Structure 1
Amino acid sequence: MVGLATLDEVANKRFDFIIVAGGTAGSCLAARLSEDPQVTVALLEAGAAHFDDPLISSPEGFLGQLYNPEYDWQFTTVPQRKLDGRTLPWNRGKGLGGSSGMNVLIWTRPQKEDFDAIEELGNPGWNWEKFYHYSKKSERFSTTIPTSSSAHHEVYESDAVGLEGPVSISFSRTHSGTEIPFQKSLENFGIKTVNDALSGETSGTFKSTSSIDAATGNRSDSATSYLRPVIDRPNLKVLTGATATRVLLSRSGEKATAQGVEFDHGGVACNVHADKEVILCASGIKSPQLLELSGIGNPSILQLHGIPVQVDLPSVGENVQDHICFTGLQYELRDDPDILTGDMLLKDPELRGKFREMHPGYEGFLALATTGLSFLPSNVFSDRMASLAEEQQRKLTRDASTYPPGLKEQYEKQIQLLNDPKVPNLEILVYPFIVPGHTIAEKPRVWILPILSHPFSRGSIHIASPDPTQQPASDPRYFEEDIDFEILFDGTQFARKVAETEPFKGLTAREVQPGPDVTNDDELRDYIKKHLSTIWHACGSCSMLPRDKGGVVDTSLKVYGTNNLRVVDLSVLPLMVAVHTQVIVYGIAEQAADIIKTEHNMTSAPAKPFT
């Protein structure tokens, strides 16, 4: 493909910067760093390019990517003790663009207190105002003309969106017709529509923006937005099919220096050399694995697998947190000409034809997007949250001496957020698609998904083998902290109550799941455990924190104990935020690009502008 490098152009060559993985962050960094024509950048991506691939460009294409090894890494968790030994799939995008090419396109920023908490944990310069600036830098917002007679409300402030960035964002022109009735049912419980969910005030219900190009209806992923317009820059080499196996390190004094990267290409072991830096953008799962394979991590884990210790850094792979949701609130809908769900489009060719006529210019056979979001503070959905917070505080006081470094401070911050009436601790998502693992039913259905926003449980991700082709052992330890289950349980009860309230109730023929047979608390508790799912947002495995507080990287995202190795992806987020994380990764990558440019006195004058 035009623009992609050959193996001969990368193997055994020298570059100023080597970026491992061309996903959401990696594609952004490759484009930003190569703006300086005086530096050279190599980007190694294990997957394919996937340019002009309808499974990437179509908003619903992720349904065809899941469990397909060309697009999906197909990670899984280890058996979860509190889920009766179940393992859960941890799908992640494989190929240029990474998970920005297989997500559900949700684009919104977190509550400002969430990001300010990152700075307050010991990370000066990583606060809401900085994040707000850098996340807008990634955006190119376009207004849309809704093509439905009962448009889902599009509310935003003009200064809350970026207009000149690479990633096209917009309000989807289409909706399922179930979002507005659910919003109105929420109003019966005092929950108002948010006037602007992009400026750091997310408590309430709203229509989210999506990473959709308003002109075409296509997905706007990181590779298409950042990388493709500049892939012909002479100082940028993008090599696909290149699986990094370890960072090549040398010791000089007290710190290790990244000399390059070892990678596999078509079964051939190759090296590429770095003159300035190696930057890992390989995800919250692969980045800690690569650090450990390179000899950076807990000595007891490295020695177990025969890997020489280069940097003693026990926090690698620890502090893992993940958003989890209950996928068992499912409703069969009544016949209604204003309702359109993903399963209806998948099974009805005639309906797909009508849909294309209604929405000219949209490509693919299904152009719905998930846009019905509600974020709720604890006091809105639970009448016992104060007592749960008090019990968690007592547990913190009792067990603090047993916690690993830094966890006490994180828990104190989480309890503070739990008690803050402005900060969401539960999301309820209106999901008009088929939940993976389910089959298309005869009648249209919609899912109402309660999602835990700030999990207290902490897990880990560590190598299970010195073989880089083997999955790491991902153990999120779901529900290891009892409060997580109790919050999700109360949130599920609340969501079920809202769904039984008009006008949403008038759309439904029946509750399919849990169904009328699940009537008491014990039955519902068992049902939640059997229908728990991840939202694929695992963070924290390479946390940005002070080293003595469990940090893996410092505030410049440089790995402790190294001179020139950084991590730039969701793994550096030390405390989960109440939002879908696509925008978080873009904001981190944009800020990282400026940090790196400043350190190396680089220019920002682009060698070739975005188009």
Structure 2
Amino acid sequence: MKRPSSLSVFVALSITTVRLVRAAVYQSIDQLPEKASYDFIIVGGGGAGGTLAGRLSENPKFNVLLIEAGPDNEGREDLAIPSQNLAVQAESEYIWNWWTVPQIGVNNRSIEYKSGHVLGGGTSINGMVYTRGATDDYDLWGKFAKDKSWSWKGLAPYVKKHEKFVQPPGDRNISGQYDPRVHGYKGPVGVSLPWSSPIEFDTRVMKNAELQDEFDFNLDPNSGRPIGVTWTQFTIGGGERSSSATGFLGADVRKRPNLTILVNTYAKRVVETIGPTIGLRKDIRTVEIVQRSGEGPSRRVTARKEVILTAGAIGSSKLLLDSGIGDKTELEAVGVKSVADIKDVGKGLTDHYTASISWNANGTDPVVNTTEALDLWRKDRIGPYAEPTGPRHQILWSRLPKDSQLLKDYKDPSAGPNAPHFEITLSGGGSTVFAFVVLLTPYSHGSVRINSTDPFSPPLIDLAFLTHPFDRAALIEGVRQTKRFYSGLAWDGYLTGFNGPDPDADTSPAGQEEFWDKIKADMNSFFHPCGTAAISPKGSGIGRGEGVVDNVLKVKTVKGLRVADAAVIPYVPTGHSQAAVYTLAERAADLIKEEWA
């Protein structure tokens, strides 16, 4: 359903903001008791950090401190309303003010790089699309770690552990839109199908899947075999956004006396812990923190057992680099003293990127009365506000054909035959039909670097968009697949014209240049960064291409420090990354519990 442009303005004026503070949640570094001690310090309260804090504090013997740079999520209605996903992403309080370096592959554009800056991190502001990716993606983790416990079968206990699949509010019939066998029902994170019943656009999508042999219907994308046309699932429970903050750090968890949540606090660096050194490995169990504004004195807090970095693929790698953990030559060139010479920190960044195309359609744009919609959501958690803005009800997951010349010219960058090369997000219902063509398997790898000794300086994020010829050619094939999907008989009388951009409209050099100029002008990230502190085998080296953490997520060559978020995922999975991060964090929690039992 297309939303009116006045939506975010109305919500900003209408939605109440209430700050609720419980004893376990400190809003300022000044409130943190001077003599408090903690077994575990978790840096970053996003999808992974919230999961770990919730799971580790289940053990009453563990005293846990969770540090988050952004504000608390609690009492903020805009974060709870699913339709406000784009509005909250535009709210500077909730996102890091990061931009990429100029991207040579997209005409030197710098791209605003959105990452959650609030308790719950990206899970508090994202589009809520819930897709695990393919079995092959997880098997790739196992290959990188040389440890089958990180494969799809090895991770089976964790894939569903966080999930609580629920009926959408209103109890509409969802039979035939998902496979109940592949879901979890006892976890804290709500997952559901869309609130609203199928509209004409949805019916035509499914009819097209019946009529076209190339694009089959797939009952559930979360079976580990996502390829096909699927109904979209969202992290929405009871008509409200479900995040790591609402799921793992809810009211009951906040009552635990062994959990402390410190928000509005910036982690400047991790430092060596003063005390006896065992062997040659430095003991990194201390975090230097300061008020998020940068004002006031810094403090150091030390974990009795270990520090766990969960600030995301950008934030965790930046924190390592700010702490002197990374390529020694590169760090010393910007004035940072080397603490551990690990070449791969910040390297290997992969992400999804997307181009949009559109058609005119015989439909009427729905008019939403924002006052009535908000009242309905507040009363019953249903209506237009119970669904996200942007993502619609179906996604087409597809691969390049087996006989594709691209796969002959280049090694297949996907993790295996179950992994799609493309996500084509289908969106319609009014006078315009959109498709977001997402390249899930880019050859291009970017990086995260720093250029200052000031930990408040923003990271240098280079996505390396379209810097490999495979990516350019693959994206064209993704657009062509989308055109073929919308050329099916099911769309007769509904679509009235293609708006492009169209790679086939003019195949002359000038025409192709015009096509790419349009694609590049609109191209964006899907904000699923991974790989900047990649997992690797136990005992492996620290040179280029040898990873950053071992198979239990401990940072190489030092003691007391782990990374347990998307940074360790070696290659971006072929799904929206939150499900993979939840799975990884659940496994990390058990690894840590087992070690310190």
Give the structure-1-normalised TM-score. 0.85
Q: CA contact under 8 A between 1:112 and 1:200: conserved in structure 2?
A: yes
Equivalent residue letter for 2:255: D
> Are 1:309 and 2:330 an aligned pair?
no
Once the two structures are superposed, the pairs formed by residues 594-609 of structure 1 within 5 Å of their partners are 594-601=590-597
Hey, what does 2:195 align to over in structure 1?
173
Shift in CA distance, 145/270, structure 1 to aligned 2, threshold 3 Å: closer
Matches within 5 A, 1:207-356: 207-213=231-237, 215=238, 217-228=239-250, 229-250=252-273, 252-265=278-291, 266=293, 267-268=295-296, 269-327=298-356, 329-336=357-364, 340=366, 344-345=367-368, 348-349=369-370, 353=372
In structure 1, give the amino acid aligned to 2:338.
V
Partner secondary structure for residue 460 of structure 1: strand
CA change 1:291–1:513 in 2 (3 A) is same
Which stretch shifts more, 69-78 or 534-543? 69-78
* Closer/same/farther in 2, CA of residues 424 and 286 from structure 1, 3 Å limit: same
Give deviations 1:109-136, integer Å, cap 9, x for gaps. 2221221122123341111123332121
Q: Which amino acid aligns with 2:282?
A: A
CA gap 1:174/1:508 in 2 versus in 1, 3 angstroms: same
CA deviation profile, 1:80-122 (whole Å, cap 9, x unmatched): 1111111112111111011001111111222212211221233
Distance 1:364 1:264 in 2: 42
State the distance in 1 between where 2:259 and 2:376 align.
42
How far did 1:354 drift? 7.4
The corresponding residue for 1:604 is none
Cα pair distance change 1:301/1:185, threshold 3 Å? same
SS, match of residue 128 in structure 1: coil
**Aligned position for 1:414:** 413
Q: CA deviation at 1:186?
A: 4.1
1:65 aligned residue: 88
Counterpart Cα distance in 2 of 1:426 and 1:541 = 23
Given that 2:170 and 2:382 are in contact with CA atoms closer than 8 Å, whether structure 1 keeps it comes out as no
Given that 2:140 and 2:415 are in contact with CA atoms closer than 8 Å, whether structure 1 keeps it comes out as no
Identity %: 29
Amino acid at match of 2:241: R
What amino acid sits opposite 1:85 in the alignment?
Answer: N
**Residue in 2 that maps onto 1:164:** 186
Q: Aligned match of 2:450 in 463, 467, 471? A: 463
| Residue among 557, 563, 576 paired with 1:567 | 563
Cα distance, 1:517 vs structure 2: 11
Name the counterpart of 1:196.
220
| Matched residue SS, 1:26 | helix
Cα shift readout 1:126-166 (whole Å, capped 9, x = no counterpart): 11123332121101111247677xx7775333331111111
Over 3 Å counting, the alpha-carbon distance change for 1:432 and 1:287 in structure 2 is farther
Aligned to 1:590: 586
Q: Which moved more, 1:511-520 or 1:111-120?
A: 511-520
Structure 1 residue 242: deviation in Å? Answer: 0.6
Q: Could you say if the C-alpha distance between residues 492 and 187 of structure 1 is closer, same or farther in structure 2, counting changes exceeding 3 Å? A: farther
Match of 2:229 among 205, 220, 223: 205
The answer for the alignment partner of 1:398 in structure 2 is: none
Shift of 1:368: 2.5
Structure 2 residue aligned with 1:4: 25
Task: Write the letter of the residue equivalent to 2:284.
Answer: A
Q: Quick check: 1:97 aligned with 2:84?
A: no
Per-residue displacement from partner, 1:289-332 (whole Å, max 9, x unpaired)?
Answer: 100111100011211222211101010000111101112x1234
Q: Does 1:362 align with 2:388?
A: no
Q: 1:27 to 1:10 in 2, by over 3 A?
A: farther
CA distance in 2, matches of 1:355, 1:180: 27
SS in structure 2 at match of 1:172: coil
**Which segment is superposed worse, 553-562 or 527-536?**
527-536
Gaps of 5+ in 1: 394-412, 434-442, 602-611
Deviation at 1:185, TM superposition (A): 2.6
Counterpart residue identity of residue 367, structure 1 = A
Deviation of 1:194 (Å): 1.1
Question: Does residue 413 of structure 2 align to residue 392 of structure 1?
Answer: no
Check the 8 A contact 2:269/2:287 in 1, yes or no. yes
Structure 2 match to 1:137 = 161
Q: 2:101 aligns with which of 78, 99, 107?
A: 78
1:363 CA displacement: 5.7
- What do residues 181-219 of structure 1 show as CA deviations (whole Å, max 9, x unaligned)? 234334443122112322211111111221111x3x111
CA contact (8 A) 1:175 1:368 kept: no
Measured in 2, the distance between the counterparts of 1:161 and 1:505 equals 36
Query: 1:209-239: per-residue Cα shift (whole Å, max 9, x none)?
Result: 21111x3x11101101111230121111101
| RMSD of aligned Cα (Å) | 2.6
Match of 1:44 in 2: 67
User: Would the aligned equivalents of 2:220 and 2:231 in 1 still touch at CA under 8 Å?
Assistant: no
2:572 is paired with a residue whose SS is: coil
Unaligned 5+ runs, structure 2: 1-20
Question: In the TM superposition, what are the counterparts of 1:2-41 in structure 2 within 5 Å?
Answer: 2=22, 3-5=24-26, 7-11=30-34, 13-41=36-64
Task: Give the Å deviation of 1:10.
Answer: 4.6
Q: How many Å separate the matches in 1 of 2:449 and 2:436?
A: 30
Secondary structure in 1 aligned to 2:489?
coil
Distance 1:463 1:502, change over 3 A: same
Further displaced range: 238-247 or 506-515: 506-515
Query: 1:398-446 CA deviation, whole Å, 9 max, x = no partner?
Result: xxxxxxxxxxxxxxx73673xx3x431111111459xxxxxxxxx7434
CA-to-aligned-CA distance 1:41-96 (integer Å, 9 cap, x gap) = 11111110121312210112121122322011132111111111111121111110
* Structure 1 residue 509: Cα displacement: 4.1
Secondary structure of the corresponding residue to residue 198 of structure 1: helix
> How far off is 1:518 after superposition?
5.1
* Kept in 2: contact 1:10–1:42 (CA 8 A): no
CA distance in structure 2 between the aligned counterparts of 1:359 and 1:529, rounded to whole angstroms: 40
Runs of 4+ aligned residues of structure 1 deviating over 6 Å after TM superposition are 145-148, 354-360
- What does the per-residue CA deviation read over 1:587-610, in whole Å, with 9 as the maximum and x for residues that have no partner? 010000000000111xxxxxxxxx
**Aligned equivalent of 1:110:** 133
Query: Residues 17 and 493 (structure 1 numbering): CA distance in 2 closer, same or farther, change over 3 Å?
Result: same
Task: Name the residue aligned to 1:524.
Answer: 515
